[in-house]
Chain A
Amino acid sequence: MMSQKQNTSLQQVDDHDLVQRYRKHNDQDAFKELLNRHQSKIYSYIYSMVGNAEIANDIFQETFTKVITKMDETYNEQGKWIAWVMRIAHNATIDYLRKKKRFVDVNSQDDPDYDFYDRLTDETDRDAQEVIENNEAKDSLMKHISSLPKEQREVVMLRHYYEMSFKEIAELTNVSINTALGRMRYALINLRKMFDKEHGKEVKYVERR
């Protein structure tokens, strides 16, 4: 009862205060709340980039090992905590991809049993037909996203999961803002073409120049 009350109150505390509680008072509940709050976005980002549950688990754990051990040394509380964590997750993901020396397709042959939706939260309370349709739409969406070049996919994911500004994305990925904006534009244009192709529509994208 007490713990439930405490958890409810922690949900109203912002990240900055939770981080302070954890760092200064060793408040494990505060850390748990931070993890609960951001885990799905961080995990989804990693997973969408590497396309393999086992590797995503490893990178996710590696990320939080660094978060736990390096927080006192490297997080200065000036910036957003999640942006700092995201940088660690992003760097760990990119390191993995560099080591592999190739871009990983989310539905690649490396992981033929991979099903993006196996790990989705329980949706049994929703209408079955709706769930199927939703899953089909998501399936198609993820298939298209996975076929984007890594740089474009990265920008889309960082914006979607983290609502990062283009300035933040540019800083994180070490490119100029215009490059980040350009990557997003090409990602959206490419996706639009894929959706149109999928639905048998002729490509309606209008070239302005």
Chain B
Amino acid sequence: MEKKLNMSSVDELCVKYVFDELDPSENILVEQAMIDDQNLLIEVESLKSTWRKLKKMPELQPSENLTDAILSQAREHANQQQFFFGRQWKNPGLMATAAVVLFSLSITTAYLLPRNNHSEPATAGTQWTMESHAAAMNLPSVYSLNERENNRDQISPWIDRSNMIYLGSTEEQEMLGSRDSLNINGFRNLRTNRHTVVAPSLMKDIHLTGTQY
């Protein structure tokens, strides 16, 4: 069946035909339509000749001052970019200075920062979560535990008459707080003393606060 032009799109197709934007099959359709309809042919020729006249539209040049200003702006911008990211950093002296400054800065920062902020990057997330949890539970922070873990060689655990396990001397114990000592003991020694250490402390807590249940 022969394809015919849709009259609602014929205007657009005519313009596309004038500007040579039709695909070959649409081209054939428009040409066939122009053979069939003389008015369409006249309109298309009229559009073509008008467009040909517009080809004479002049082109203007911006002033040289203007283009020079733009070129110098481009140069300045490129120089700025280059200073921060470009060849300047290929200078070995500058690179060495920058490295020394960065190193000194990192060392100084490490000393100035509170020790609690130290954490291994790989475990930072976990550390934060555990510390937050510990804080929420009113427990000693993981870091504190880790720190004490690291210092365990300096602390000697001992057991009193009530089978309570302590770390270090009584002075050290006072500094740590009895609750800390119990938890540390729980971590370290529950395998051997689990029935004697944790339970009295929990009961004691319940009696003291009265808010656990």
Q: Footprint of B on A, CB under 8 Å?
A: 22, 26, 28, 31-32, 35, 39-41, 43-44, 47-48, 56-57, 60-61, 64-65, 68-69, 72, 116-117, 119-121, 134, 137-138, 141-142, 145, 156, 159-161, 165-166, 177-178, 181-182, 184-185, 188-189, 191-192, 195, 204-208
Contact = CB atoms under 8 A, between A and B. Distances in A.
B54 interface: yes
Contact of B39 (A26, A35, A206): A206
Q: Secondary structure at chain B's binding surface: helix, strand, loop or mixed?
A: helix
Contacts of B50: 188-189, 191-192, 195
B51 interface: yes
Contacts of B15: 166, 181-182, 184-185, 188
B74 interface: yes
A188 B60 contact: no
A26 B81 CA distance: 9
A138 B56 contact: yes
Interface in B20-45: 21, 37, 39-40, 42-43
8 contacts: A35-B71, A39-B61, A68-B70, A160-B55, A166-B15, A166-B16, A166-B21, A206-B43
Contacts of B49: 192
Contacts of B74: 22, 28, 31, 64, 68
Interface string B42-80: 110011011101111111111100110111011101100
Contacts of A181: 11-12, 15-16
Interface in B89-105: none
Contact of A185 (B11, B53, B67): B11
A32 B11 contact: no
A188 B16 CA distance: 13
Nearest to A40: B59
Contacts, number: 133
Given A188-B51, A206-B43, A64 B75 contact: no
B86 interface: yes
A170 B38 CA distance: 30
Sorted nearest first, the 5 A-B pairs with minimum C-beta distance are: A181-B12, A40-B59, A43-B62, A181-B15, A64-B70
B23 to A, nearest CB: 13
B11 A39 contact: no
Among B14, B43, B47, B58, chain A packs the most CB atoms within 10 A around the CB of B58
B43 A44 contact: no
B82 A119 contact: no
B19 interface: yes
Contacts of B75: 28
A208 B40 contact: yes
A185 B47 contact: yes
B47 to A, nearest CB: 5
Contacts of B61: 39-40, 43, 119, 121
Nearest to A36: B67
A148 B5 CA distance: 30
Nearest to B8: A178
Given A65-B73, A69-B77, A120 B58 contact: yes
A177 B13 CA distance: 11
A28 B54 contact: no
Contact of A28 (B47, B63, B78): B78
A134 B75 CA distance: 39
Nearest to A138: B58
A178 B12 contact: yes
A69 B74 CA distance: 8
Contact of A26 (B67, B70, B78): B78
A57 B62 contact: yes
A61 B69 contact: yes
